[in-house]
Amino acid sequence: MYGKSQIGNAFWWSDWDIRDGVVAVKSTGQRLPFGPRFLLICLNWLVYYFCMEAWRAASFARKGPKVAFVPHRPRPWYFIWPALHAAGGRIVSRPEDADLVMCFEDATRSTLPSAPANKVTMNFGCNDVSKSRVAEVFEAVFDYPLHIDPETHSGPMVEKSEINGAHDGQVVIGPKTPREGFVYQKVVDNRIGDDQVEDLRCLVVGSHIPTSFIKRRPLDRRFINANCEVLLVEPDSYLTQGEIHKLQAFAARMNLQWGAMDVLRDRADGRIYVVDVNKTNIDPPIALPLKDKLKVTKQIAQMLRDMTGVDG
């Protein structure tokens, strides 16, 4: 039914291509400069990864949920991988043998397979996380826009690629002729102080937003995923109950049962804006302290056990 692609190559480093000082992720095309900062990020992540490997080894002696992924199997840097193994679970190749079946494809737009019957499933309806789709659903749920018409707008606006995870945003001045494959959005003033910006990354599990990360970085790197500080926070410490309910409705409209939403609060109008949705999220953020990485992983692992009714 789903083919061998859900198993995938066990040698996950084969997903990387290093050429001319640039590391490219083959599945997404994302490119990262190979240098001291990249190596530091890798070392930071490897400490967390070795903790996850210890949990994975211990999972063989526990009864945890069995999860099948279609059409692709996640690599260790995707958050579902450590969360599953922290739950004492394991990956199975056949959906009929699974307690949970997740549609997993790291692509902005996808043609999704049909969800298997009589199984707990995730993300089978989440086939479009493009920036234009996010803005469309956001306006429908929140009743105020993020999208801007670049040909009629006068003044600064954000220009960014439709592609998920590109981190190529820049502030441009309108009116201007739109570039193909790009969207144009309101410049959300998410500054704290004069020289930093702050994002809120909300995790989505089932119909819940169980926890969030506050991410801070310099203003001149506002569109780059290079945080100088990350804090683990409860959603209601940053959001009102009304905002949480709207975010849950937004996730439901996107058919997102697993992933993350990036939320900015504009300090001028006080409103929140969902600027990105990731259905194959790479979390926890690198800059989060290790003790909090382990804490949030165990928290989400328990939610996976509760969802599937398998708690070993």
For each of the domains in the chain, give its residue range(s) and CATH number, in order of start: 4-122+288-308 (no CATH), 131-278 (3.30.470.20)
Which residues are within 8 A (CB) of 162 and not within 5 positions of it... i.e. 6 or more apart? Answer: 108, 130, 131, 132, 181, 182, 183
**pLDDT mean over 54-67:** 79
Q: Positive or negative CA dihedral for 50, 54, 60, 62?
A: negative
Contact 124, 113 (CB under 8 A): yes
Contact 266, 190 (CB under 8 A): yes
Q: Quick check: 69 pLDDT over 80?
A: yes
Cβ neighbour number for residue 168 with a 10 Å cutoff:
12
Interatomic CA distance for residues 308 and 81, integer angstroms: 16
More confident residue, 64 or 208: 208
Give 8-30 pLDDT, tens digit per residue: 445 555 565 565 555 555 555 45
Give 254-271 pLDDT, tens digit per residue: 999 999 999 999 999 999
Token pair for 19: 């050429």
| H or E element that contains 183 | strand 182-185
Residue 114: the pLDDT is: 87
Residue 1: the pLDDT is: 47
pTM of the predicted model, to two decimals? Answer: 0.88
Mean pLDDT computed over every residue of the chain: 88
Q: Quick check: 131 pLDDT over 80?
A: yes
Token pair for 150: 């670049």
Contact 104, 113 (CB under 8 A): no
Q: Quick check: 41 pLDDT over 90?
A: no
Residue 162: alpha-carbon gap to chain centroid: 15
Contact 87, 65 (CB under 8 A): yes
Question: Exposure string (b/e) for 52-67, b if CB count within 10 Å is 16 or more?
Answer: beebbeebeeeebbbb
Interatomic CA distance for residues 43 and 209, integer angstroms: 29
Which bin fits 101, alpha (ψ -120 to 50), beta or left (φ > 0)? beta
Contact 255, 200 (CB under 8 A): no
